[in-house]
Amino acid sequence: IKRIGILTSGGDSPGMNAAIRAVTRVGINSGLEVFGIYNGYKGMTEGYIEPLTRDSVSQISNRGGTILGSARLPEFKDIAVREKAIKQLKKRGIEAVVVIGGDGSYRGALSLTEMGINCIGLPGTIDNDITCTDYTIGFYTALQTIVEAVDKLRDTSNSHHRCSIIEVMGNRCGDLALYAGITCGADIVITKDTGFNEADVLDRLRELDTIRKKKHAIVIISEKITDVDEFAKKVSLNTGFSGRATVLGHIQRGGSPCPFDRLIASQMGEKAVDLLMQGIGGQCVCIRENKIVSYPIEKALKMPSDSRKPLTNLFERLI
Ligand code: F6P
């Protein structure tokens, strides 16, 4: 192959730029021409595609967000929309594409591969919700942002005998909450996997106050589980702590990527180019037990998310 494209799609994540840089530089150094496809599949459909050079990707590894822009395009599941996108690629001689994003983006990559455009997926999402990889690009930076915020909340919570309820992102995946719970020393972690029994949590908080005599309590909860402001009111009414909710929100998606995210983004970008040069498509790149490997996207999308259990057990043993 001679020409490849690269796009970022779905929610952005810190480290996407390092992946763009790696794909571009490794591609060019391997004799390929590399094209940036702007605003995800939307830009592919509209033909918003420009050549990338060694210089156009310099000094971006340290920057959060994505220089290519990102978008969600649910219509990409329609074959007519994909055909339009493929026409734009063919017009420019682009034969294969690296797609950086989450599971929705992987679905698009698989469909394009089935239609003759080899695609390789890179896991770019803070959620860590792609089971076949131990870590996704952006997860550790988002975790660091959460840890810094929770450490600050703990200071003020402790001064006022409060219970801080901190809602973190993750979509349907509890990893950000669980890893933050372990690394911040939270009292309670609530995720899709733990379930949420309000009465039990209130009981536990009363016990922390009256029996353990704790000066404050930290509850970390995944988004999309309950209304945290309402829950904080119930904490104030039913326990000795006064409840305060903090929704960390999109702050978790920004910021300069940590070295680990930059490193795996670079390694994964390299692997993607190598696979495309071997004529391989329909695979996603993963890090597993410290090795960069690839895995069929079709299987990755069907993989159940039960591999996090050891850390749930660890959290229980630390409280
Ligand atoms: O997938 C990344 C993510 O940040 C999720 O954690 C969150 O549920 C969602 O995207 C938010 O999406 P939006 O940026 O469209 O509000």
pLDDT mean over 285-305: 95
253 lines ligand 1 (CB under 6 A): yes
308 pLDDT above the threshold of 70: no
310 pLDDT above the threshold of 90: no
**DSSP for 145-199?**
HHHHHHHHHHHHHHHTTEEEEEEE--TT--HHHHHHHHHHT-SEEE-TTT---HH
Distance (Å) of CA 155 to CA 32, 158, 168, 191, 241: 53, 5, 19, 24, 15
Residue nearest to atom 3 of ligand 1 (CA): 11
Q: Do 127 and 136 touch, CB atoms closer than 8 A?
A: yes
Q: Do 41 and 110 touch, CB atoms closer than 8 A?
A: no
pLDDT mean over 259-273: 98
172 pLDDT above the threshold of 80: yes
Confidence at residue 312, expressed as pLDDT on a 0 to 100 scale: 85
Q: Establish whether 72 is an annotated binding residue.
A: yes
Catalytic residue among 12, 55, 78, 127: 127
pLDDT mean over 159-170: 97
pLDDT in tens, 151-160: 999 999 999 9
Q: Establish whether 95 is an annotated binding residue.
A: no
* Residue ranges of E strands in 214-317: 217-222, 242-247, 283-288, 291-296
Confidence at residue 305, expressed as pLDDT on a 0 to 100 scale: 80
Please tell me the distance from the alpha carbon of residue 303 to that of residue 242, in angstroms, as a whole number. Answer: 41
| Lowest mean pLDDT across 77-91, 190-204, 296-310 | 296-310
125 lines ligand 1 (CB under 6 A): yes
pLDDT mean over 224-248: 98
Place of tokens 């929610």: 11
Confidence at residue 95, expressed as pLDDT on a 0 to 100 scale: 98
| Structure tokens given for 221 | 């909860």
Q: Do 151 and 130 touch, CB atoms closer than 8 A?
A: no
Q: What one-letter code names the amino acid at 268?
A: M
ipTM, 2 decimals? 0.97
Confidence at residue 227, expressed as pLDDT on a 0 to 100 scale: 98
Q: Establish whether 161 is an annotated binding residue.
A: no
pLDDT mean over 284-300: 97
Which of 169, 176, 221, 222 is the pocket-test mutation for ligand 1 (most atoms within 8 Å of CB)?
169
Residue nearest to atom 11 of ligand 1 (CA): 11
Please tell me the distance from the alpha carbon of residue 197 to that of residue 194, in angstroms, as a whole number. Answer: 9
Strands 118-123, 49-52: pairing kind: unpaired
Q: What is the pTM of this model?
A: 0.97
Q: Atom of ligand 1 at shortest distance to CA of 102?
A: 1
Confidence at residue 162, expressed as pLDDT on a 0 to 100 scale: 98
Residue nearest to atom 2 of ligand 1 (CA): 11
Q: Atom of ligand 1 at shortest distance to CA of 169?
A: 6
The reply to whether 127 belongs to the active site is: yes
Confidence at residue 187, expressed as pLDDT on a 0 to 100 scale: 98
Place of tokens 């001689």: 93
Confidence at residue 307, expressed as pLDDT on a 0 to 100 scale: 65
Please tell me the distance from the alpha carbon of residue 216 to that of residue 162, in angstroms, as a whole number. Answer: 5
